[in-house]
Structure 1
């Protein structure tokens, strides 16, 4: 009897997600490579055609967020995709984004002085079906603004990214997910000296129809990789040892 109830509840959850337009995972569907973090999303599928919101509260976190988004764009733009990157400030060095598998020539950088113009440009760009992703860098996003952006992507199925730099207050939004990315000490291959691949502490603060989650993730030429518990312990020990005294 208990198993029947659980099966019924599971079926109802899947039906509700289907009615809300959440994609079902297919056997041939490629993942973003985020490991357990990806399972936090409905049906374990990274949502495309929605707005993702990133928040940062200092320059280091802003740079970390840009790097992590670069990795996501590398996955999304594999089939000759185009991205529009809009902002009144530019925190990314275009040539560096090549490290994440993205050709800088496939990104159109747009600079605007006022944030309301940035949001207007993003809304218009999100309506273009031929674009893979649109990213805007701003300082504050409210529910009404986010709802306008979400309505735009529901028709075009373009994926949008909002990066809030040092917002005064985190307001409620209609974004599908709210992310917070902070940098971690990198680890070089085989313990060799020098700078290794970028590492991040990635936290999903809010997930529509999903569950909040947190993982430590690194980037390599093969894509994203999550740390095992043993790797986390070794990395934390090395970091603490290097900072003694």
Structure 2
């Protein structure tokens, strides 16, 4: 029996294969930082699209929390397309986001009353497809919810950025609980790096890559996001011996 291209069974199988290949292709694409020391720690050389990534401040205060939000904003700024940012507290400082490369005309803010609604909005945004990134501000990220977000991201290839923000010090311990996130980052503010102009310095961050699937955990001292959303390794040292410290075990 001769089977041609018009056979509906073969055509259906081909469509399924093309769909699966497209999903795999999206999962393999990454967004590099453009900093070799950081990209070398990440599978594929960058942050995976079709995945969710977590960010939190190194302390419980607002300064480190703001740095975590700006770090996520800089990542979102380097994607293509509109950004959906889901939150319960409308306290973002737009000029600071613009300084990190994320301008207001690219962002659709979704303000809701409860964290459950943030999770629902995140899942809907990740499932929609065609967005540059979907950002959500959360105190807690339960494992079941994180798995739903990860699956939604995998289906469309959209990158999900979860900014963990604490209202009380006791809530910070939830950041250590397991989730389905592909990477987990902690950002702390350091004294500014001196510049040739008196009284002016470039903001510096201490970044901890605390968890990465199939990659290496590490720590970096970096200059904060510039107007294009990019960071770079700072001239300052992490511990007096070098700018980067890697753990001995991959996670």
Which TM-score bucket, shorter chain as reference?
0.7 to 0.9
For 1:215 and 1:35, locate their aligned partners in 2 and report how far apart those are by CA, in whole Å.
12
1:103-182 matches, cutoff 5 A: 103-166=103-166, 167=171, 168-169=173-174, 170-182=176-188
Cα distance change of structure 1 residues 171 and 183 upon mapping to structure 2, 3 Å threshold: same
Q: Is the partner of 1:127 in helix, strand or coil? A: helix
Alignment-derived partner of residue 224 in structure 1:
231
Tell me how large the CA RMSD over aligned residues is: 2.6
Q: Does 1:67 align with 2:70?
A: yes
Q: Is the partner of 2:122 in helix, strand or coil? A: helix
Cα distance change of structure 1 residues 21 and 136 upon mapping to structure 2, 3 Å threshold: closer
Structure 2 unaligned segments of length 5 or more: list them. Answer: 1-23, 241-251
Alignment-derived partner of residue 3 in structure 1:
none
For 2:129 and 2:111, locate their aligned partners in 1 and report how far apart those are by CA, in whole Å.
22
Cα distance change of structure 1 residues 87 and 232 upon mapping to structure 2, 3 Å threshold: same
Alignment-derived partner of residue 200 in structure 1:
205
For 2:185 and 2:107, locate their aligned partners in 1 and report how far apart those are by CA, in whole Å.
22
For 2:65 and 2:29, locate their aligned partners in 1 and report how far apart those are by CA, in whole Å.
32
Q: What displacement does 1:69 show?
A: 1.4
* Structure 1 contact 58–165 (Cα < 8 Å) conserved: no
More helix by share: 1
* Structure 2 contact 27–50 (Cα < 8 Å) conserved: no
Q: What displacement does 1:188 show?
A: 4.3
Instruction: Count residues in correspondence.
Output: 208
Alignment-derived partner of residue 45 in structure 2:
44
Cα distance change of structure 1 residues 140 and 125 upon mapping to structure 2, 3 Å threshold: same
